[in-house]
Amino acid sequence: MTAREHLRIFRRGAEYSLRVNRKYTVLLMANAVLSSVTGYVPIYFSARVIDALIAGAPVRTVLFYAALTVGIVFAANLLCTYLACEKEAARKGVWRNEEWSYSEKAMGMAYESMEDPEVDRLRYRIRRESQIGQNLFLFYQHIERLTCQAARIAASLALTASFFTLPSVPLGLKLAIGAGVAAAMLLQTLATQKINGLDRDFNASSVEINILFEHFDDYIAHYGAGKDVRLYGMGGFLRDFLLSADREYWERDLKVSCRKALWTLPAAVLNIGLKFGVYAVLLYAAMRGGVTAGSIAKYVTCVMLLAEALVRMTETLQEALDNNHYLKRYFSYFDIPNRMYQGSLTVEKRDDNEYEVEFRNVSFRYPGTKVYALKDVSLKFQVGERLAIVGMNGSGKTTFIKLLCRLYDPTEGEILLNGVNIQKYDYDEYMSIFSVVFQDFSLFALKLGEVVAAGREFEEARVRECLEKANFGQRLAALPKGVHTYLYKSYDPEGVEISGGEGQKIALARALYKDAPFILLDEPTAALDPVSEYEVYSNFNRISGEKTAVYISHRLASCRFCDRIAVFHRGRIIQQGSHEELLADRAGKYCELWNAQAQYYITS
């Protein structure tokens, strides 16, 4: 990284810590200064006490010094404690904000990025790095440590200044001590650099395995996996797999640790050598009467503290430079652009629901793949029409829906709303015209009413009406707190468990509540039993009303209610028409699909 880049990241971190979490940062620094300086109070006064004792001062003087020591330390510690407590509360708040910032990012970023494995990798990596104490939290620590060290250096210098002005110590010895401090600092800096480098390399080479660990935990914790693992006797395999991955990881870690251990040796030796040197000089001076006995300890302690603070300061600065690599990656995740194309047009609100959507020669490839998931698809939705989309697994049906909902942008061609490319519309505005029930819909374990309204506020009567329309009425009546009941048990232990079929009904109710001009249903009956399925089919017209409806299903029975059917095959639309028209084409794909299913139901 260049110096300019380092500077840019520092500035960004500083801005962030001072703007977003100013209170925490200020508390952190205040506490750091105060707690560092407090340590010097007993050092200073104990020298005075000892000298007073040796000099045979009156007992009152000595007692006064002792009382002063104890009193000042008490007052300072009290204040420190207060600051530390407040700081701790602020720190928790910072953690919470930090946690949520990932959630905000996940909700704000383009769906395409969300689905991109590389983005996912990046997210895993920075989260992991935050967890092991890198990134922003280390940045705060650096602020704290640098403040501490600066305060220590100032205090040490203040207390040792008199030593360097002592006439009884030859200049050469003073310089030698200065040189010793510098040498200890350099050596320690080098060692720290090596040790940090080892850590960084280790972390970089562990990204893949850490992703693996995380996914492994997710898999094990998953509800459904529990049955599979038992019945398919996978326990041994899974355990062995994890153990061998763990073993490999920790063996590498141990090797790195041994190398780190070796690097600590030279600095430790030099440090003790320095301390011995300082003692020697002071003893020499004391014996010649240049230094009082009480001051020996004071000077030695302060010189060593000075050396240490200097070392720590360079260490911290180095670490901070090192952390910039992590911060850069961290910020790069949050800098991923949120939306693909930020249009600005508003969607005209029309009471007559006259929204015309057209696919014009649309082709699409998923990022990083060579095969087209959709190829040259052109289709115009008639207002108020019911369109069925059928085809085999992997024929491009769901991709078609994803493009329509602007979760992806077409690779080629364009999609038009009332004649204008949909990318020109404001994203949320465009989204407002669609109600979708995806095959893999998800419902949160929150209040039923909120879930249906997809928001904090909900109109109770309308929620109830939509649930009834979606055939959830009977179950709703049986719920203890009606629409105020929580779903599942993850959030509220008093919540109710619901089956897959019931979930599908709630998802449908959510789509109805939104009351958008387009309603898209992706396999809405897959998890339903025959009775519920029948009800959905029979009510299909009532459910879709005057809206334009798109219906994807493997249950071809559903096509009967649709005005038009589009048959997808290998990313293309190969047939279009009404049920009767398509069935008439005996050689067509639709006929093949229909017969494959209908043969089991046509009773003689």
Partner 1 sequence: MKKTKPGYSLFSNFAWSVRMLMRYSRTALLLSALFIPVRIGLKYLEIYLPSLAVSEVTKGQPLCHALPRVGLVMLAILAGSVVLKALGYIRSSALGIYRYKMADLVTGKRLSLFYQTYEQKEVRDLAGRAETVTQMWDGVLPLTDMVEGAFGVAENLLGYLLFGTVISFASPWLVPILTAAPIVNLLSVRAYNKWEYAHRKQMTDLDQRLWYVAGLPDDFSAAKDIRIYSMASWLRACYRDLSGQQARWDKALVKRNFFTRTADLAVILLRDGGAYALLIHMFYKGQISVDEFVLYFAAIASFASWVDGILSCWNKANTMSLKLCDFRAFVDYPEEWAGRGSARAEDHRDAPPEITLRNVCFRYEGAREDTIHNLSLQIKRGEKLALVGPTGAGKTTLVKLLCGLYRPTSGEILFNGVPLSDFNREEYYQLVAPVFQEIQTAFFSLAETVSGKSLADTDLERARQCMCRAGLGEKLDGLPDGIYTKLNKKVHRDGTELSGGEAQKLMLARALYKDAPLLILDEPTAALDPIAESRIYTQFNEMTENKTALFISHRLASTAFCDRIILLEKGQIAQEGTHRELIRAGGKYKELFEMQSCWYQENPKGGEKL
Q: In angstroms, give the least distance from the CB of 131 to partner 1.
A: 7
Please state, in angstroms and rounded to a whole number, the distance separating the CA atoms of residues 86 and 146: 20
**Count of residues near partner 1 by CB under 8 A:** 172
Please give the residues from 66 up to 125 whose contact with partner 1 meets the rule CB under 8 A. Answer: 66-67, 69-71, 73-74, 77-78, 81-82, 85-86, 88-89, 92-93, 95-96, 99-100, 102-104, 106-108, 111, 114-115, 117, 120-121
Closest distance between partner 1 and the C-beta of residue 394, in Å? 6
Strands 434-437 and 420-421: unpaired
What is d(CA 213, CA 209) in angstroms, rounded to the nearest whole number? Answer: 6
- Cα distances (Å, whole numbers) of residue 134 to 192, 308, 320, 361, 494: 16, 23, 10, 48, 39
The contact pattern for partner 1, residues 23-42, with x = CB under 8 A and - = no contact, is: -------------------x
Exactly one of 215, 350, 380, 481 binds partner 1 (CB under 8 A); that residue is 215
Q: Is 402 exposed, middle or buried (0-12, 13-18, 19+ CB in 10 A)?
A: buried
Minimum CB distance to partner 1, residue 297 (Å) = 4
Residues 549-578 that bind partner 1 (CB under 8 A): 554, 556-558, 560-561
20 and 97 in contact (C-beta within 8 Å)? yes
Q: For residues 499 and 504, give the distance between their C-alpha atoms in angstroms, rounded to a whole number.
A: 9
Instruction: Report how far Cα 446 is from the mean position of its chain's Cα atoms.
Output: 22
- Closest to partner 1 by CB, 241 or 348: 241
| The binder of partner 1 chosen from 5, 15, 201, 228 (CB under 8 A) | 228
Per CB under 8 A, the list member of 142, 514, 547, 564 interacting with partner 1 is 514
d(CA 84, CA 90): 10
Residue with tokens 């600066």: 150
CB of 4 to partner 1, least distance (A): 32
How deeply is 166 buried, as exposed, middle or buried, from its count of CB atoms within 10 A (0-12, 13-18, 19+)?
middle
CB of 7 to partner 1, least distance (A): 29
Residue closer to partner 1 (CB basis): 9 or 163: 163
Measured distance CA(391)–CA(379) in Å, rounded: 16
Amino acid at site 388: A
The nearest distance, CB 247 to partner 1, in angstroms, is 8
Contact between 2 and partner 1 (CB under 8 A)? no
Question: Which residue of 167, 233, 419, 480 would you call a contact of partner 1, by CB under 8 A?
Answer: 233
Binding to partner 1, residues 383-402 (CB under 8 A): 391-395, 402
Q: From the CB of 8, what's the least distance to partner 1, in Å?
A: 29
**Least CB distance to partner 1 at residue 426 (A):** 12
Residues from 516 through 545 that contact partner 1 (CB under 8 A): 523, 526-534, 537-538, 541
The 343-382 site mask, x for binding partner 1 (CB under 8 A), equals ----------------------------------------
DSSP string spanning 296-327? Answer: HHHHHHHHHHHHHHHHHHHHHHHHHHHHHHHH
Least distance (Å) from partner 1 to the CB of residue 378? Answer: 23
Options 166-174, 311-319, 346-354, 439-447: segment touching partner 1 (CB under 8 A): 439-447
- Token duo for residue 111: 């769906």
Burial 147-160 (b: 16+ CB within 10 A, else e): bbbbbbbbbbeebb
Compute the distance between CA of residue 451 and CA of residue 442 in angstroms, rounded to an integer.
10
Work out whether 144 is an interface residue with partner 1 (CB under 8 A). Answer: no
Judged by CB under 8 A, the stretch of 31-39, 146-154, 216-224, 340-348 that binds partner 1 is 216-224
Closest CA to 72 of 101, 109, 46: 46
The whole-angstrom separation of Cα 249 and Cα 212 is 12
Give the residue with the Cβ less far from partner 1, 25 or 301.
Answer: 301
**Residue 431 near partner 1 by CB under 8 A:** yes
Beta strand pairing call for 412-417 and 420-421: antiparallel
Name which of residues 288 to 347 contact partner 1 (CB under 8 A): 293-294, 296-297, 300-301
Q: What is d(CA 37, CA 30) in angstroms, rounded to the nearest whole number?
A: 11
Beta carbons of 567 and 590 less than 8 angstroms apart: yes
Restricting to residues 172-191, name those near partner 1 by CB under 8 A: none
Binders in 399-418 for partner 1, by CB under 8 A: 402, 405, 407
Q: Which pair of structure tokens corresponds to residue 45? A: 């006064």
Q: Does 444 bind partner 1 (CB under 8 A)?
A: yes
Q: Enter the tokens of residue 152.
A: 């220590």
Binding mask 247-286 for partner 1 (x = CB under 8 A): x-xx--xx-xxx-xxx-xx--xx--x--xx--xx-xxx-x
Q: Does 480 bind partner 1 (CB under 8 A)?
A: no
What DSSP letter does each residue of 350-376 carry, written as one string? -TT----EEEEEEEEE-TT-SSEEEEE
State the minimum distance, in angstroms, from the CB of residue 1 to partner 1. Answer: 25
Question: In whole angstroms, how close is the CB of 491 to partner 1 at the nearest point?
Answer: 5
Contact with partner 1 (CB under 8 A) among 15, 201, 460, 592: 592
Nearest approach in angstroms of CB 301 to partner 1 is 8
The yes or no reply on residue 419 touching partner 1 (CB under 8 A) is: no
For CA atoms 569, 572, 578, 584, give the dihedral sign. negative
Distance from C-alpha of 480 to C-alpha of 484, rounded to nearest angstrom: 9
* Residue in 499, 515, 546, 563 binding partner 1, rule: CB under 8 A: 499
Q: Does 234 bind partner 1 (CB under 8 A)?
A: yes
Beta carbon of residue 54, minimum distance to partner 1 (angstroms, whole number): 6
